[in-house]
A and B are shown apart, each in its own frame.
Chain A
């Protein structure tokens, strides 16, 4: 049921009641870059990559409700530059070595970087020291790549009912933790079929021993760029 329309980069976009700008845009096959939004979870607006200008003011499109007659700017050089900077920060805050990462070609961060025309790291990498947690028999946690999107936190709590993950600390010290006395994944109830394992958009929560079974060249974003996915999947969003 269409409720009204707003204007996105000069184009009329219809929306239904309760839809955010991002949801309506994706439903109309228009890609707005985003990282912490996932169609199956309540948006919480932390990464700011989905920022647009609504009637001239910067807002997160994943949390801003669509309203009749809004003037929304998204695909402008200025906004894309800001988004690119945010993504570049994420790259240097963690250890993202795409060439040897098993998620290369199916990683949302990498694909978003490409979509935003990011070609170099721009800032000096911080090279944080983050050892992996291999204590679980079937799942590996590689903290090096966490972008703090909280999707696993939400999935584990809301869908799996296990609350295995949480974020702790503030600002630059904010990091992912495992809810177990030992702090080790092996001491949680997490299992391979859990939503929390599937939902990580980057390469933190990994099924062990599977890394390169899917050949490079045949992966999700090898086949089509992330914005083309949005265009091809009207209901979607790009988890």
Chain B
């Protein structure tokens, strides 16, 4: 851990707060504490989301939980829905799901990955990447993309729509569906629904491929910036499937060190607590997980696309596997920790999700066969999936009267908590040290946060559209300077 987290002598330092003033509840806030020489002394990302939800679930009947947890996060409800259902499968004794339940849930999950990744890249990230981080905010948004590259913007919208359709036919609704129930699913996907989705497949695959081409071109054309911007080395964590393959829905946990050496592998998700601990810090509501064997100082890690694509040994679909190989070659087989490489990895996953959807739509188990399984009741269950933003852990204990007595959630953005803090520090050090803070410089901090695609409501505003209030406050708490940007 760098020394920038806590300044040695906080008194006599100036504070810059990047504070999204948003009507949406819950927002991130970055505090940068400067000294008299404008040197960065302290950087903290404050996150107030995800508070108190665990308590809310205690005392509720377990079958309500997969629906209830979707309210946890407006940004990836399907992921919470599935992670909770997976944990509760074990409680109702469904160690193995029926083929129908497995296929329907996977289809739902891949639909969510596809729509989420498409939204993030085409809507939120591409404006920065196409026009440059310092370009005029008025242009640097999805409307700007639509004007400059209408075809690209259109593809983004349609890719996302396709993912939403996949979710609708599996979950019942586009948002907040109820498709997964403890032990399985509550409906089939009809042949007619499958045929309709299949008709769009060739286009979807083509656009997904073009997306990877675009981001790799952008990355390679501006190699130095993409490779070095905010780069901070860390461990990596994700699920992997059989033979170490990229696996998004169900697998075992694997961790690597910053150089790619495997730290542990094949860890049964039920045992996550044997390897992952959570640290509480006084200044943040969000916990800081770490690999317990390495301790909080060295054990922090990254999750999400960049971790997954480098943690796995292979991707089981051919187009995405070819792109993974190209990615690896671009970094000479070494692990990259560049936050901006998240975008490239994310689009490889988008392509993978599209290929998996194509494969699944041919599977008749989607449309026929038993929906649920049961077995001997158990008191506890852990469900882990790879959500669009990274590893998501749901853990419940259920009493014999069917009420939940314990709930522990580690959401993707929490796993990335330290990593995001570290990356912001890197950026702040490189971009802000010794200079007067300007809007463009502060944008860089946001670009770094956005690379992780955190599920924070502030991060869902297009860049350049996010209302910002930047306060410079001295050690006595006096406002020295205020930068302000309102949403257009």
Contacts and interface: CB of A to CB of B under 8 A. Distances in A.
B217 interface: no
Contacts of B92: 209
A168 to B, nearest CB: 23
Interface string B168-200: 000011001111010000110000000000000
B333 interface: no
Interface string B399-419: 101110000000000000000
A212 B67 contact: yes
Given A102-B64, A134-B61, A135-B401, A213 B186 contact: yes
B403 A134 contact: yes
A131 B59 contact: yes
B267 interface: no
Interface string B116-139: 000000000000000000000000
B245 interface: no
Interface string A217-239: 11000000000000000000000
Given A100-B68, A100-B71, A209-B402, A217 B173 contact: yes
B272 interface: no
Contact of B181 (A99, A100, A213, A217): A213
B65 to A, nearest CB: 9
A211 B178 CA distance: 10
B207 interface: no
B63 A216 contact: no
A155 interface: no
Contacts, number: 60
Given A100-B64, A211-B64, A215-B172, A134 B401 contact: yes
Contacts of B60: 132
Contacts of A142: 61
B178 A212 contact: yes
A210 interface: yes
B378 to A, nearest CB: 14
A134 B405 CA distance: 12
Contacts of A78: none
Contacts of A217: 172-173
Interface centre among A99, A134, A135, A211 (most CB of B within 10 A): A211
A101 to B, nearest CB: 8
Nearest to B186: A215
A208 B68 CA distance: 16
A111 B87 CA distance: 33
Given A131-B59, A212-B181, A215-B187, A99 B172 contact: no
Nearest to B182: A209
B402 A134 contact: yes
B67 A132 contact: no
A216 B173 contact: yes
A214 interface: yes
Contacts of A218: 187
A99 B69 CA distance: 11
A215 B178 contact: yes
A28 interface: no
Contact of A211 (B61, B172, B179, B187): B61
Contact of A216 (B59, B61, B172, B401): B172
A140 interface: yes
A216 B175 CA distance: 12
A215 B186 CA distance: 6
A206 B403 CA distance: 13
A140 B401 CA distance: 9
Interface string A131-163: 110110000101000000000000000000000
Nearest to B67: A100
A132 B181 CA distance: 21
A210 B186 CA distance: 11
A206 B62 CA distance: 13
A216 B71 contact: no
Q: Most chain-A CB neighbours within 10 Å: which of B60, B61, B66, B399?
A: B61
Given A131-B59, A132-B61, A216 B402 contact: no
Interface in B97-149: none
Given A132-B403, A212-B186, A140 B61 contact: yes
A132 B404 CA distance: 12
A211 B68 CA distance: 12
A99 B173 CA distance: 12
14 contacts: A99-B71, A100-B70, A102-B63, A132-B59, A135-B401, A140-B402, A142-B61, A206-B61, A208-B402, A209-B63, A212-B67, A212-B181, A213-B181, A215-B187
Given A102-B64, A211-B64, A211-B67, 18 more contacts: A99-B71, A132-B60, A134-B402, A140-B402, A142-B61, A206-B61, A209-B63, A209-B92, A211-B63, A211-B181, A212-B67, A213-B186, A214-B186, A215-B186, A216-B172, A216-B173, A216-B178, A217-B172
| Complex A-B, nearest 6 residue pairs according to Cβ-Cβ distance, in ascending order | A134-B401, A100-B68, A211-B63, A216-B172, A215-B187, A212-B178
